[in-house]
Every structure is written in structure tokens, then in C-alpha cells.
């Protein structure tokens, strides 16, 4: 084995390790590295302590269009584009670095211990989002009120687009636990 192939394999192992720690599914690892399925499954079990989950990856463009996932996926994609364009990190490495920054930024401002147990945008969904952009299924559209760019269906009308931050849906942020807490305070 040449030193170049050993180096590429070591890079793939490091990339796969980072992706597993961030929550990547086995299908993502297979697509982004040249490691065998068996090797990736062993690596996954070693890092996570459990076998990799089975089943299909989420495949719905519509999930990214609902109000909260749209805000989070738009934030993530903006970070990814910056990382891929202006740093040495490219493609899969840019995905890993952008997702780390997304996790950091999506919990900013929350009281300690109050961060959600699961991020709105999982690593696998972030990877799928990039695939949807590459496949031309989604695009960025500029909000006419705030000027931010948000994920939208490809070829959707751009005129008159208002994002979910500028115009949240009526029930946005009204979770059962918040209603219960609010009701207990007012009782």
C-alpha cells in the first residue's frame, strides 16, 4: 500500500469519525468516504457504542419548508456556503465544520442546561439539504422584508417572499410545555 493511499484512508477515518460524532447515518458515511460498509459499521459501533440505525434516510424537500426547519436549514446552509467558499474546508469537511458552527450558533442565547436535547436540523438532514441543492430541488430566496436568504423550493416565485422570521405562523413557539408553564405561572 502506498503512503498516499494510507494517507487518504486515514483522512477518511478521521472524516467518518467526525461525522459519526455529529450524528451521521451509515449511508452518509458510505457516500462521503471510500471506506467499506463493514469498516464503517465497526467504526460506528466503536464510537457510539451501538449498532448503526437501519432504514431509509429522510427524503422530503417539504420538511425544509416548514417554519422552524426552514430557519435552521437556512442558517446552516449560509454557514456551509461561507465555509466552502472562504476556508480551506471543502465539500464533506466544510459540511462537518459548518454543522459544528450551526450547533454552536443554534444554542446561543439559551440559558445553560436549557439547550434542546436534539437540534432542529440533524446532521443527516443537513447532508440531505446539500444533496437537494446539488440536485436543483431547492434554492435560496431573498426575503423582501429583512433581506436574508432562505431555503425554498427550486423555481418558486421569488417576488413577495417573506421569511418565517419576519412573519412567523400564528402558533409558532407555542409548544405544550411552554403552554403548561405559562398556565402554571398565571394560575
DSSP assignment of 152-165, as one string?
EETT---TT---TT
Q: Residue 164 corresponds to which cell in the numbers above?
A: 418565517
Phi/psi for 167 (5° steps) reads -135, 80
CB of 77 within 8 A of CB of 70? no
Alpha helices in 87-151 (DSSP H): 91-106, 123-134
Query: pLDDT tens digits, the chain, 187 residues: what are they?
Result: 566 666 778 999 999 999 999 999 999 999 999 999 999 999 999 999 999 998 888 788 999 999 999 999 999 999 999 999 999 999 999 999 999 999 999 886 555 555 556 899 999 999 999 999 999 999 999 999 999 999 999 987 778 899 999 999 887 766 655 555 555 555 5
Supply the angle between the helices 123-134 and 91-106 in degrees, to the nearest 10: 130
Domain locations in the chain as residue ranges: 1-57, 59-181
Amino acid at each position: 500500500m502506498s503512503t498516499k493511499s494510507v494517507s487518504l484512508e486515514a483522512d477518511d477515518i478521521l472524516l467518518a469519525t467526525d461525522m459519526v460524532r455529529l450524528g451521521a447515518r451509515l449511508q452518509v458515511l458510505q457516500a462521503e468516504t471510500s471506506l467499506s460498509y463493514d469498516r464503517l459499521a465497526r467504526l460506528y459501533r466503536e464510537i457510539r457504542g451501538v449498532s448503526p440505525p437501519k432504514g431509509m434516510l429522510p427524503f422530503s424537500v417539504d420538511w425544509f419548508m416548514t417554519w422552524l426547519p426552514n430557519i435552521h436549514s437556512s442558517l446552516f446552509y449560509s454557514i456551509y456556503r461561507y465555509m466552502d467558499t472562504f476556508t480551506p474546508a471543502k465539500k464533506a469537511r466544510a459540511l462537518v465544520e459548518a454543522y459544528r458552527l450551526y450547533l454552536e450558533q443554534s444554542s446561543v442565547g439559551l440559558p445553560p442546561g436549557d439547550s434542546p436535547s436534539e437540534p432542529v436540523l440533524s446532521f443527516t438532514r443537513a447532508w440531505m439539504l446539500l444533496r437537494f441543492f446539488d440536485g436543483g430541488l431547492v434554492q435560496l430566496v431573498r426575503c423582501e422584508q429583512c433581506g436574508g436568504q432562505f431555503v425554498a423550493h427550486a423555481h418558486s416565485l421569488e417576488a413577495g417572499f417573506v421569511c418565517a422570521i419576519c412573519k412567523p405562523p400564528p402558533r409558532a413557539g407555542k409548544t405544550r410545555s411552554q403552554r403548561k408553564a405559562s398556565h402554571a405561572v398565571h394560575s
